[in-house]
Structure 1
Amino acid sequence: MEESLLGSELTEYSSLRRRVWEESKKLWRVGFPSMLARVTAFGMFVVTQAFIGHIGEVQLAAYALIQVITVRFANGILLGMSSATETLCGQAFGAKQYHMLGIYLQRSWIINLTTATILLPVFIFASPIFKLLGEDSEIASEAGYFALWFIAMLYSFVFSLTIQKYLQCQLKNMIIGWISAGSFVLHVFLSWIFVSKLNWGIPGAMSSMIISAWLLIFGEFIYILGGWCPKTWKGFTFACFLDLFPVIKLSISSGVMLCLELWYYAVLVLLAGYMTNAAIAIDAFSICLNIIAWQLMLFLGFLTAASVRVSNELGRGNAKAAKFAVKVIICVAVGSGRQSMVAYVNICSYYVVGVPIGILLGYVAKMDVKGIWIGMIIGVATQTIVLGYITSRTNWDEQVDKASERLNKWFLRSSETA
């Protein structure tokens, strides 16, 4: 009797190990190229910052203001809205509604292009905005010059973010990883030539980044339009203009969810700009944030893998598989379409807890940048604890029902997409 029981336990343990191994392979299949793409894409900003640092202290501070505040402000909105594409494409792929992925991608282009255009004044009038906020006049003026260069990067986000979501949901994001890596190497080389050898200064550093970023996008378009996505890309269609409002609604909630997180760090840099020796404070704080953010890209690769696995399994109607994927790797609720709930958690964790504590420690307790940094850590820790609890209490059968309802509501037959 005991031998039979022991044999049953060993069989169950062996089965669990096999399931964990199989799930891990699926996660790494998406996670590794996503990590590679994110690390190299964000690395372009870090490399540019390094070359700008050789030009001057004020220029470095100005670049930091634009990159960490204005660019993250816009990128946070567009990245968040693109996560709606991730949710919809992932669930549609799991439900084998392959032709819908191309339609969702085109809808995201329409929505994000419109959003980017609405955000243009933030870049055009960056200098007076920073002066109005009380930042150092010289730094603000220089920041306005950088902002005009970043407009080209603003529109690159529209395509790079959405195409990445589209490809990774169908497990084709390895191409993004390698193209991103190639673009990063090219960026380093061009930056060295333009800034160090030709002494083109700021125009050289920014031109290098723009060229590298758009070459990545051209490579992605060649891959999609060249026939490597035959099931999911059926060409441009007017069907992408149908049912835009519900997609916009999901995109906005997704945008709020993620941009609140990215804006949190932007607010901290803005606060650093009010301290004595603003240029040095901004330089030091932004460099630390960028290094940490660069490391964070590795973990976001795992987040992407979790999101894809969850959305795929919800699309298939398999609640147990979605729950098991979450157990293998922790998720923050993107693939399940629960972006609105996460947005409220981010507001409370970052802006009710983190920022006030940072202000108190930085200015009242006279801890300066160190105080702001401690407030940031407390805010992040609060968010992690709350989301961990919510994820552990999730009813995945209910999430399957919601995913099925969403897919059926927005489904278009192939004949309707012509």
Structure 2
Amino acid sequence: MENKKPLLSPYGEEVGHHNQLLRRSSRSFTADAEDIPPINGARVLFNEFGTEFNKLWYLAAPAMFTAICQYSLGAITQVFAGHVSTLALAAISVENSVISGFSFGVMLGMGSALETLCGQAYGAGQHDMLGIYMQRSWLILNGTAVVFCFLYIFAEQLLKLIGQTPEISESAGIFSIWMIPQLFAYALNFPIAKFLQAQSKIMVMAVISAVALVFHVFFSWLVMLKLGWGMAGAAVVLNLSWWFIVVAQLAYIFSGACGRAWSGFSWKAFQNIWGFAKLSFASAVMLCLEIWYFMALVLFAGYLKNAEVSVDVLSICANILGWAMMVAIGMNAAISVRVSNELGADHPRTAKISLMVAVVTSFLIGVVLSLILIITRNEYPSLFSDDTNVKILVMKLTPLLATCIVINNIQPVLSGVAIGAGWQAFVAYVNVGCYYLFGVPLGLSLGYKLNRGVSGIWYGMLAGTVLQTLILFLMVYTTNWSKEASLAEDRIRKWGGESMEDIEKLVN
């Protein structure tokens, strides 16, 4: 039999070779945790920690940069809107948080199904499935975008229905209609991002996002402030920036830079479309419940006295929290790729060590960001608003914001592990209970019934995040990683990968 050269990961590890898959197929799904050799000795642990630290940050650094750049598109628009008028800031903030935030959460969540499937398929060496998975996701997400157009068209009526002021609702409704092109950019971008992430091609995403951000800042200033186009200018520049990212990434993929992962459009994308849609919706429920949770802060602020100031203050805090969370989401993407790749390649021990590295480093990053925020609490509010009342309230909320950043830097890492392992459906139930059955009622009680205002709402909802983080930590701590590696192979076969019979033919 001819000896075939094994496939190698970007780090030189053997992945996806067929004898490995055959050995794994015979292993029982009831494998004990003892299948993974214990980590003995501080020196061994330190060495393995350092090795995985380098591998993880090879992915995490450009992923963080990409996430920050893409998030900054909307955040920069809000910064310039704050210098147009208080109403413009409130309207764009509500549209970003409620209307675009809703669709962003659904699209990102549905696209995250590819983190599990593409990551594990790539780890198993079945690269040709990645392009088919991405095409299936495009079909599902664009169909969802068509339905969501009605949400954008009737945004004004919806915002009034849920209690927003007529002035904010009217302005946000107009801005929502202008932002429909961004909705379809989301539908293409998120599957593309997961497709590239699974192959560790994150640097190209970082470069494209950086170029988009530079142009976005310049043209936002030019159109919104210099030319005086205000909210209309904000919509034009924001739409063009997102479509630039999509077109540039597609050009990279179609150029042949992804090898076997992209071999052109295929009719296989239409196979098992309903089953794939159900998996995508399960992923959407998990992630969008997390995204909507803190975006709901801005919505609840609209019911308080002096709604415009309250909305502005929380939108500024949510903006900063969002920037900090992009660092954690970058780590989320990296740990998801590492866990899914290693489980797909039958390396459960490495997946476990990668998790340890991600949690420790994310916590330390959160502490550093919080300290920077506290030190500059008297200066940074001026970047977002010229209103004195807004700046004073933001300064008062800074300690709470700093605490939230530390906690929220750990939680996305644990969610990334859940995505890499394919636990989306179960985590969705955890999110519903912790966030919406515990955190939201507690926050509303503190904010309205006990008259604690903005800080009361935030404290209650933060408690929900703490509870969810503790549950995820317990899930990860008790995970049987050998069993997860076996389940990864079964998942690849279910969604169109090579069957074990096909692999046996190749080997023999």
SS class of match (2:464): helix
Match for residue 442 of structure 2 among 357, 375, 391 = 357
SS class of match (1:279): helix
Match for residue 168 of structure 1 among 185, 191, 197 = 197
* 1:392-407 alignment, distance < 5 Å: 392-407=477-492
Structure 2: how far apart are the matches of 1:293 and 1:162? 21
User: Which AA in structure 2 matches 1:352?
Assistant: L
Structure 2: how far apart are the matches of 1:144 and 1:228? 41
Moved more, 403-412 or 379-388: 403-412
1:375 equivalent in alignment to 2:404: no
* 1:298-309 alignment, distance < 5 Å: 298-309=327-338
Conserved 8 A contact 1:36-1:177: yes
Structure 1: how far apart are the matches of 2:260 and 2:498? 14
* 1:41-56 alignment, distance < 5 Å: 41-56=70-85
Q: Deviations over 1:165-207 (max 9, x none)?
A: 1111111110001110110011001111112221111111221
Structure 2: how far apart are the matches of 1:351 and 1:231? 43
Moved more, 67-76 or 318-327: 318-327
Question: Unaligned regions of 5+ residues in structure 2, if any?
Answer: 1-39, 360-413, 503-508
Q: Deviations over 1:34-58 (max 9, x none)?
A: 1011001001111100111122112
* 1:10-159 alignment, distance < 5 Å: 13-159=42-188
SS class of match (1:329): helix
Q: TM-score when scaled to structure 1?
A: 0.94
Partner of 1:5: none
* 1:246 Cα offset (Å): 2.1
User: Which AA in structure 2 matches 1:73?
Assistant: F
Distance 1:412 1:388, change over 3 A: closer
* 1:106 Cα offset (Å): 0.6
Match for residue 277 of structure 2 among 237, 248, 251 = 248
User: Which AA in structure 2 matches 1:133?
Assistant: I
Partner of 2:11: none
1:336 equivalent in alignment to 2:365: no
* 1:15 Cα offset (Å): 3.6
Structure 1: how far apart are the matches of 2:125 and 2:434? 38
Structure 1: how far apart are the matches of 2:476 and 2:497? 32
Q: Deviations over 1:9-42 (max 9, x none)?
A: xx95444333222211111111111101100100
* 1:391 Cα offset (Å): 0.8
Conserved 8 A contact 1:268-1:355: no
Q: TM-score when scaled to structure 2?
A: 0.78
Q: Deviations over 1:355-392 (max 9, x none)?
A: 11111111111111111111121111111111111110
* 1:380-391 alignment, distance < 5 Å: 380-391=465-476
Conserved 8 A contact 2:84-2:225: no
Moved more, 313-322 or 217-226: 313-322
Structure 2: how far apart are the matches of 1:393 and 1:381? 19
Moved more, 268-277 or 317-326: 317-326
* 1:324 Cα offset (Å): 2.1
Match for residue 219 of structure 1 among 240, 248, 251 = 248
Partner of 1:269: 298
SS class of match (2:262): coil
SS class of match (1:335): helix
* 1:342 Cα offset (Å): 0.9
* 1:268 Cα offset (Å): 2.3
Conserved 8 A contact 1:260-1:347: yes
Q: Deviations over 1:44-101 (max 9, x none)?
A: 1111001111221122111111111111111111101111011100000000000000
User: Which AA in structure 2 matches 1:221?
Assistant: L
Structure 1: how far apart are the matches of 2:483 and 2:306? 54
Structure 2: how far apart are the matches of 1:70 and 1:52? 17
Structure 1: how far apart are the matches of 2:43 and 2:476? 27
Q: Deviations over 1:235-289 (max 9, x none)?
A: 0111111111221121111000011111112322221111111111111111111
Aligned length: 405
